Structure 1
Amino acid sequence: MKTSNSTWKKWLRGVFAGSLALTVAACSGGGQADSGTGGQSGEQAQPAASGEPQKLVIYTARDKNIFEIVLPKFKEKYPDIEVETYEMGAQQILERVRAEKANPQADFWWGGTQSALSTAAEEGLLEPYKPTFADKIPDLYKDPQDRWYGEMLLPEVIMFNSQALKKEEAPQDWDDLLDPKYKDKIVIRNVLPSGTMRTIYAAMIYRQGPDTPEKGYEWLKKLDANTKEYTQDPTQLYLKLDRQEGVISLWNLQDIMIQSKQNNHPYDFVYPKSGAPILVDGVGIVKGAKNIDAAKKFYEFLFSPEIAAQLAKERYQFPSRTDISKDELPDFMKNLELKPLELDWNVMASKEKEWMQYWDENIKGKSKK
């Protein structure tokens, strides 16, 4: 979709053209922003003049596989709304929205971890909005002040190359990853830019005891010792796994299913016996959004039962809505027990930055013997 005025053309120079024909280098929950993406803090998007198309600017950590279902249907229902999307990891969205607080450039945040969205809410970066489906979302998966709602559930599991390992040969639980037999068989997507990986690593620290993160750091040191490489982005992660330069990773279940079932990668998963961090991937309206009416329309559309059921069937997305019929879900989803790790997400949100900074500065790549 074309940019409608010169101010936007200037601001968007060198970035993705806001179009449904998107070039995507990100994955669900953990994509990397294009290096050319960047707004000028002094330049402000102007509201559409009367009679001109409405605009909706979305910052997203979601994948092209989702866009190609949702956006054309939204455009069909609302042909007068021009949508522009900018892709980056969930943590990068938080940092960008925070930096633009005085002059918001986005209207809608699509694809954020519970930790990132909770942090944004507490910093006054999200606009309260109670959608029509509010009572269909469990309290566990939404903000009590309606500043964000979980769109889907993302179990974080152990991923492996099924051509290199049989399922019973793969790690069956988190602590199994530390077994010396898996040394140099593990590849990890770079942690800091990825909401998915930050959640997994923070959960690994929490489960050792949140009041004594040193135990969690020791656990991560042992994992680091078994880790062959940290890849720059999901694309590189997939290449390493395909080439068997590493055969085990940690990733979200939805993307594993998409990559294996639709993109023909030789991937399978183990749901950890002790339980998994179930990341709530959510949305929110940016505080001070210039196109808030369009943002609310997209909010309601995205959570509609029709779209939720279609994304479950075609993109293996676990819906957060409780009123989606099981008949509308794929077979593997009906039979899989989503056993969660017991985590205090408020503690996770408050400690994640500190924990991840320590990991990055003191553990990453430093544990090889």
Structure 2
Amino acid sequence: MKRKISIFIVVAMLLTLVTGCGSSKVENNQENAEKKPERLTMYIGVVEEQAMKIAEEFEAATGIKVDFVRMSGGEILSRVRAEKDNPKASIWYGGPADSFVAAQQEGLLQPYVSPNAANIDEQQKDPEGYWTGIYNEVLGFVVDNRFFEERNIEKPKTWDDLLKPEFKDQIVVANPGASGTAFLFLSGMVQQRGEEAGLEYMKDFDENVKQYTKSGSAPAMSAGLGEAAIGITFMHNGLRHIEEGFENISVIAPEDGTWYSTAAVGIIDGAPELEAAKIFVDWALTKEAQEIGQQFGSYQFPTNPDAKIPEQAKQFSNVKLNNYDLKWSGEHRAELVEKWDNMIKDTKKEQ
């Protein structure tokens, strides 16, 4: 009898132990499922002050802490390529959408259609969610007024004006291989004039270039500091420096038309913080998130129709825009940059 009682007790203890383990496992699974992401790493292509504010506001709204590295759009693309097999960041924020198209073609992005993307115009997002537009920016000239006043010469009004001999070594523009801003200029010119004529223009234009920068926003500061007479950049970069007190510069929209870029946000393929990345994309498409840049002189045109257009940018709401095939641009980015690079090298050899 004692033997039977002992066996019963052992069996009961085992059943209790198994049941307890199962209950604990269910509770742990529920806890993990409900646990919110805590951190997010991103590569970001906006000015440093704006990047910091975006990180702060996102953390305040969601509790997710952001670590970011600020780079130009072209640099981000190169970094994402290099880390393809072991991604270090989950979000790519900022930079022209044709860089995102190129990344999509190379399998570097992961699709995610945010519910907030329904508010964004069809032309400013990828239908499969590989990227979604966050703001639009327009290419133009930022000029140092003093240069023109001292020499009593006219400021450039068209792209062809930039080829005038009086502007030799007086133009600063970013390198198309490093900057999405400069690639927009290169691709736009090729699309408008044809490859041969477009590259020929870029070759002639190179004669007047003083410096190719990494950052697409740097040429505006060069004009502001008097390091060059003309900076080729997005016009909102010039508007920001005017607000900062650079009264010597002005911003010009080319009369023969220019090109605009849709800056985007996307999730990097293999994102180590996928859930946090999705939450960020949702947030980045909101009215509140898209109005943050205006606090720091980033006077772009938001893609969310409910977000207000900065007063400083309204004067450029009706500039003439040339046609621009975003998909073609993204698909031919690498070969176009290579052709430009080889052409510039050959030109330097000739000199």
- Fold shared, TM-score > 0.5 on shorter chain: yes
Q: TM-score range by the shorter chain?
A: 0.7 to 0.9
CA deviation vs aligned residue, 1:138-181 (integer Å, no higher than 9, x gap): 11111121110011101011111133336992211111111223
Q: Aligned equivalents of 2:313 and 2:47: distance in 1?
A: 20
Matched residue type, 2:310: P
Q: CA offset at residue 69 of structure 1?
A: 2.7
Matched residue type, 1:157: G
Aligned partner of 2:95 in structure 1 is: 112
Aligned partner of 1:353 in structure 2 is: 334
Structure 1 residues 155, 147: CA separation in 2 closer, same or farther (over 3 Å shift)? same
Structure 1 residues 230, 286: CA separation in 2 closer, same or farther (over 3 Å shift)? closer
Matched residue type, 1:330: P
1:130 to 92, 103, 113: 113
The 8 Å contact of residues 312 and 319 in structure 1, kept in 2 or not, is answered as no
Q: CA offset at residue 120 of structure 1?
A: 1.3
Q: Would you say 1:246 and 2:246 are equivalent positions?
A: no
Partner of 2:147, secondary structure, is coil
Aligned partner of 1:43 in structure 2 is: none
Q: Would you say 1:88 and 2:71 are equivalent positions?
A: yes
Aligned partner of 2:59 in structure 1 is: 75
CA deviation vs aligned residue, 1:6-35 (integer Å, no higher than 9, x gap): xxxxxxxxxxxxxxxxxxxxxxxxxxxxxx
Q: Aligned equivalents of 2:96 and 2:180: distance in 1?
A: 6
Partner of 1:363, secondary structure, is helix
Q: CA offset at residue 184 of structure 1?
A: 2.4
Task: Give 5+ residue unaligned stretches, structure 1.
Answer: 1-47
CA deviation vs aligned residue, 1:339-364 (integer Å, no higher than 9, x gap): 32112222222223222212222225
Aligned partner of 1:282 in structure 2 is: 264
Partner of 2:94, secondary structure, is strand
Equivalent runs, 1:310-329 vs 2, <5 Å: 310-312=292-294, 314=296, 315-324=298-307, 328-329=308-309
Q: Aligned equivalents of 2:217 and 2:106: distance in 1?
A: 32
Structure 1 residues 159, 248: CA separation in 2 closer, same or farther (over 3 Å shift)? same
Aligned partner of 2:148 in structure 1 is: 165
2:273 to 273, 277, 291: 291
Q: CA offset at residue 367 of structure 1?
A: 8.9
The 8 Å contact of residues 158 and 248 in structure 1, kept in 2 or not, is answered as yes
Q: Would you say 1:66 and 2:50 are equivalent positions?
A: yes
Q: Would you say 1:153 and 2:136 are equivalent positions?
A: yes
Percentage of pairs with the same residue: 29
Equivalent runs, 1:19-98 vs 2, <5 Å: 54-79=38-63, 81-98=64-81
Structure 1 residues 238, 152: CA separation in 2 closer, same or farther (over 3 Å shift)? closer
Structure 1 residues 347, 236: CA separation in 2 closer, same or farther (over 3 Å shift)? closer
Q: Aligned equivalents of 1:199 and 1:339: distance in 2?
A: 16
Aligned partner of 1:208 in structure 2 is: 193
Structure 1 residues 264, 194: CA separation in 2 closer, same or farther (over 3 Å shift)? same
Task: Give 5+ residue unaligned stretches, structure 2.
Answer: 1-31
Aligned partner of 1:40 in structure 2 is: none
Structure 1 residues 247, 70: CA separation in 2 closer, same or farther (over 3 Å shift)? same
The 8 Å contact of residues 222 and 367 in structure 1, kept in 2 or not, is answered as no
The 8 Å contact of residues 180 and 216 in structure 2, kept in 1 or not, is answered as no
1:273 to 255, 263, 269: 255
TM-score by structure 2 length?
0.81
Q: CA offset at residue 205 of structure 1?
A: 1.9
How many residue pairs get aligned? The number is 315
Matched residue type, 1:183: K
Q: CA offset at residue 111 of structure 1?
A: 1.2
The 8 Å contact of residues 113 and 196 in structure 1, kept in 2 or not, is answered as yes
1:181 to 166, 181, 189: 166
The 8 Å contact of residues 228 and 246 in structure 1, kept in 2 or not, is answered as yes
Greater alpha carbon shift after TM alignment, 339-348 vs 141-150 = 339-348
Aligned partner of 2:20 in structure 1 is: none
Q: Aligned equivalents of 1:96 and 1:199: distance in 2?
A: 20
Q: Aligned equivalents of 1:123 and 1:230: distance in 2?
A: 27
Structure 1 residues 106, 349: CA separation in 2 closer, same or farther (over 3 Å shift)? same
Q: Aligned equivalents of 2:193 and 2:350: distance in 1?
A: 22
Matched residue type, 1:256: G
Structure 1 residues 219, 367: CA separation in 2 closer, same or farther (over 3 Å shift)? farther
Q: CA offset at residue 243 of structure 1?
A: 4.5
Structure 1 residues 302, 232: CA separation in 2 closer, same or farther (over 3 Å shift)? closer
TM-score by structure 1 length?
0.77
Partner of 1:145, secondary structure, is coil
Aligned partner of 2:5 in structure 1 is: none
Q: Aligned equivalents of 1:50 and 1:290: distance in 2?
A: 18
The 8 Å contact of residues 183 and 227 in structure 1, kept in 2 or not, is answered as yes
Greater alpha carbon shift after TM alignment, 353-362 vs 312-321 = 312-321
Aligned partner of 2:290 in structure 1 is: 308
The 8 Å contact of residues 224 and 368 in structure 1, kept in 2 or not, is answered as no
Structure 1 residues 88, 265: CA separation in 2 closer, same or farther (over 3 Å shift)? farther
Partner of 2:236, secondary structure, is helix
Matched residue type, 1:344: D
Larger-gyration structure (1/2): 2
Matched residue type, 1:361: N
Greater alpha carbon shift after TM alignment, 162-171 vs 243-252 = 162-171
